[in-house]
Amino acid sequence: MNTEMILTNARLVLEDGIIDGTLVVRDGKIAEIAEGHTDKGLDLEGDYLVPGLVELHTDHLEAHYSPRPGIRWNAISAIQAHDAQIAASGITTVFDCLRLGSDADDGYKVGEMRAIADALAEARAEKRLRADHLIHLRCEVSAADVLDHFADFQTDAQVRLASLMDHAPGQRQFQTMEQYTFYYKTKRGLSDEAFAHFVARRQAASARYSDSHRKALAKACTDRGITIASHDDATLAHVEEASGFGVRLAEFPTSIEAAHASHDAGMSVLMGAPNVVRGGSHSGNIAATDLAMAGVLDVLSSDYVPISLIHAPFVLADEIEDLDLASAIRLVTATPARTVGLDDRGSLSVGKRADLVRVRRESGVPVVRSVWREGERVA
């Protein structure tokens, strides 16, 4: 590994603006930033140079591990395929979501997510990974076995983020039965009788477990210093509860009211980058662009499409008059990094990790041309 690298003739996307200049890397960190060009180093030909993207919530690993219903792929192979696509999308830090909590119709068995976490640790130790992978536990608080699943991770230092979710009908994401019916009846082809039984069982589980599980998990995360995320908050009561638990990240609020309240309470409001690229929510909830226009969007997540994380900031900068590209890039770099306490990365600043992405955009979808993690080329 070279101890010094010079990148010049670049459009450097800083936190507060864009300059034409040169960036010097030494020993994996940003050592110098200056305006102007030099004859030395790698000529970026006027391309943008942005910080490595920080992804807090992606279910993408699941698609590789379980590519078809009932199919489980080799965990290391799945992780490598996921990692390659993540890195090629400009993401240098990724929080891989592992789902905790199941019932007879859905989810993974106790121990299955633990095995994936072990595979991640093994892949890291063997230097198989391009991006820096951490773990985000998605805890379904209405599931009877969620605490058993969580216990598998009680000593795992890879876990840096946990979200508290309840996907029962009538709750949060699914406040109307129309939304829930499409997701769980129409898509699964359930009969009226089977769907009624499914709904009743889910609602009963939520009434029995959600409150106590939410409190137990919030306390466990606080005790261990794990950042807590709320999920699909819809009302002021939801936001007040989240604030009481010390939540720092409000994922996918489902109402403008909840988004404003979360932002005003000091939480980082996260929405999906696919929502921005598509022009709206696939589940019929609020549009991320509306929150950006209102000044209450803080973080974007690629969710289920990795390339959307570099695409969406350009879309927002194009569509919102008061949002420049530097501010839009902060949604996928500096703000998510700070939200989870990763203060060593997320911006082009002297002393930060040299996690860097070279991006060219003539028009439309931007192209990721090169990616460096701590000064090493990874894509």
CATH (domain of 259): 3.20.20.140
Residue 103 has pLDDT above 80, yes or no: no
Residue 9 has pLDDT above 90, yes or no: yes
Residue 24 has pLDDT above 80, yes or no: yes
Is residue 332 domain-shared with residue 352, that is, in the same domain? no
pTM for the model: 0.92
Is residue 96 domain-shared with residue 2, that is, in the same domain? no
Is residue 171 domain-shared with residue 281, that is, in the same domain? yes
Distance CA(285)–CA(175), nearest Å, equals: 10
Is residue 46 domain-shared with residue 57, that is, in the same domain? no
What pLDDT does residue 295 have?
Answer: 96
Candidate from 31-35, 252-256, 347-351 with smallest mean pLDDT: 252-256
Share of the chain above pLDDT 70, in %: 91
Distance CA(308)–CA(366), nearest Å, equals: 10
Total number of domains in the chain: 2
Burial per residue of 135-167, b for 16 or more beta-carbon CB atoms within 10 angstroms, e otherwise:
bbbbbbbbbebbbebbebbeebebbbbbbbbbb
Share the mean pLDDT of the chain.
91
Candidate from 10-14, 102-106, 250-254 with smallest mean pLDDT: 102-106
What pLDDT does residue 170 have?
Answer: 59
What pLDDT does residue 70 have?
Answer: 84
pLDDT band at 293 (very low <50, low <70, confident <90, very high): very high
Is residue 77 domain-shared with residue 25, that is, in the same domain? no
Distance CA(89)–CA(43), nearest Å, equals: 21
Is residue 261 domain-shared with residue 375, that is, in the same domain? no
3-state secondary structure of 50: strand
What pLDDT does residue 177 have?
Answer: 59
Distance CA(341)–CA(93), nearest Å, equals: 13
Distance CA(270)–CA(145), nearest Å, equals: 27
Distance CA(125)–CA(95), nearest Å, equals: 17
What pLDDT does residue 2 have?
Answer: 56
> Using an 8 Å Cβ cutoff, are 109 and 351 in contact?
no
Is residue 281 domain-shared with residue 321, that is, in the same domain? yes
Residue 1 has pLDDT above 60, yes or no: no
Q: Domain range holding 230?
A: 53-342
pLDDT band at 60 (very low <50, low <70, confident <90, very high): very high
What pLDDT does residue 322 have?
Answer: 93
Burial per residue of 207-228, b for 16 or more beta-carbon CB atoms within 10 angstroms, e otherwise:
eebbeebbebbbebbeeeebbb
Is residue 64 domain-shared with residue 20, that is, in the same domain? no
378: CB partners within 8 A, 6+ apart: 87, 92, 130, 131, 371, 372
What pLDDT does residue 175 have?
Answer: 55
What pLDDT does residue 284 have?
Answer: 59
Number of Cβ atoms within 10 Å of the Cβ of 94: 30
Is residue 154 domain-shared with residue 121, that is, in the same domain? yes
Residue 109 has pLDDT above 90, yes or no: no
Candidate from 17-26, 82-91, 247-256, 276-285 with smallest mean pLDDT: 276-285
Burial per residue of 323-337, b for 16 or more beta-carbon CB atoms within 10 angstroms, e otherwise:
bebbbbbbbbbbbbb
Is residue 233 domain-shared with residue 357, that is, in the same domain? no
Is residue 33 domain-shared with residue 83, that is, in the same domain? no
Q: Is the dihedral of CA 243, 249, 254, 258 positive or negative?
A: positive
pLDDT tens column, 143-160: 999 999 999 999 999 999
What does the block give as tokens for 346? 């997320």
Is residue 218 domain-shared with residue 352, that is, in the same domain? no
What pLDDT does residue 12 have?
Answer: 98
What pLDDT does residue 279 have?
Answer: 87
pLDDT band at 171 (very low <50, low <70, confident <90, very high): low
- HSE-CB at 353 with a 13 A cutoff on CA atoms is 24
